[in-house]
Every structure is written in structure tokens, then in C-alpha cells.
Amino acid sequence: MKKMGLLSKKIDARIASYQRELIETHYREVENMYRQIRGWRHDYRNHIQTMKAYAAAQDWEAVKRYLDLLDEDLTTVDTVIKTGNPMTDAILNSKISLAKAKGIRVVADAQIPFRLKSSEIDLCCIIGNLFDNAIEASVKLPEDQRLIRVYMDMKNTQLYISFTNFTAGKKMKKEGKLFRSTKGEGHGFGLVRIDAIVERLGGYISRNSEDGAFTTEILLPQM
């Protein structure tokens, strides 16, 4: 019994350590995204002056090229999702930016019309882990097959979260309640952490690997 207790404490400590690392990683990603936005805004006057110079020289091709470059640059840092919840916006947009940098297309539809009962830390862990798992699976595919679908909305009094990504036509192997993690030793804590949060909040989680796609669905009570 004593050994079991020590083992349980060791596992809890490792999960807690993983959670801290995960949150720190997400906040760094969010900070990096907003740093890019602040940098673009800081350079805004310089961009205007450059285009004025091209316009004064009537070099309209140069103006067009410069505008195309600015449009491409801004697209990489633009906030593409506005759910209504600031922390959810920050996490989703930072992860979408990361996915796009890896050549992964993201189709996201997320609406959260009011303040959630779930804590920001819980949402950070759930959404961050789901996105990281989807990105890890997607980068193994040819770039034209990389796709992550995200859907979040309220269903009556519950927050519904759905993540789907393709898996190269391979059906993932299920071990107990979880599907096997391909990340190596220690990384399965992300899945364990999601399940622990959902259970603590009295929610529901479903994972399904079919037809070359892996889907996770979660319901979290908000009343």
C-alpha cells in the first residue's frame, strides 16, 4: 500500500509538472503572436512612408509588390478567431498560427457567447493538448493532406469542443480508455490530463479513430 501511495504521488507530481510546462509553452506562443502584432504596428509609419516614396516616383508595380508583401506578413499574425472568450481566443489563434507555419490548414468555427464556468487553466490544458496532438499527427502527412477541424459552441448549458485531424488512413490503436500516444514516454500525460479535467468538471469525452480521421469530442457543463 505504501509503495502504491508513493507511486501515485510520483505520477501526480509528473502530471503537475507537465501541466506547468504546457501552460508556460502556451503563454510563450501567445506572447510571441502578440509581439509580432506589436512589431507590425510599430513599423506601420515606416511602411506608409515607403509606399509614399514609391507613389511619388509613380512606381506602381513597386507599390503593388510592397502591398502584397505586407498582406502576406499581416496574414501570419492576424487574429482569425474571435470566440467571445479572451483566453480561448489567445490559445486558438496561437495554435492556428503554429499549425499554418507547419503547412497545416485549419478550419475553425468557435463561438462562446458568455463567460465560462470552466477555468482558463483548464481550457488552456484541454485546447492546447488537443491542438498539439492534431498538429503532431498532421505533420506526418503530405502537405496537401494536412487539415485540422475545430468546432466549439454552446449546446444548451454545455460547452461542446470537437477536434478532428487526418491520420494517413491508419486507425489508431486503443489501449484501455485511451488511444496510444506516438510521442514517446512522458507525453501521454497530456491525454491523462484532459481526461482528469473532464472528469473533475463532470463532463463527457469521446475519442474515435475511423476512416483515416481522429476525432475528440468533449462536453463541459457550464451551469
pLDDT tens track for 29-82: 666 666 666 666 667 677 777 878 888 888 888 888 888 877 766 655 555 677
Which among 114, 56, 52, 54 is positioned nearest to 88, based on CA atoms? Answer: 114
C-alpha cell at 128: 492546447
User: In angstroms, rounded to a whole number, what is the distance separating the alpha carbons of residues 209 and 104?
Assistant: 20
Q: Which residue has the higher pLDDT, 158 or 31?
A: 158
Contact (CB, 8 A) for 138 and 98: no
- Res. 25 pLDDT band, cuts 50 70 90: low
pLDDT tens track for 94-153: 888 889 889 999 999 988 766 777 777 788 889 988 998 899 989 999 999 999 999 999
Indicate the pairing of strand 213-221 with strand 158-166. Answer: antiparallel
pLDDT for residue 62: 85
pTM (2 decimals)?
A: 0.65
Q: Which residue has the higher pLDDT, 12 or 71?
A: 71
pLDDT tens track for 177-219: 555 544 444 445 678 888 989 999 999 999 988 878 999 999 9
Contact (CB, 8 A) for 176 and 133: no
pLDDT for residue 192: 82
Q: Where are the domains of the chain?
A: 80-221
Average pLDDT score over residue span 17-27: 62
The domain over range 80-221 is classified in CATH as 3.30.710.10 = no
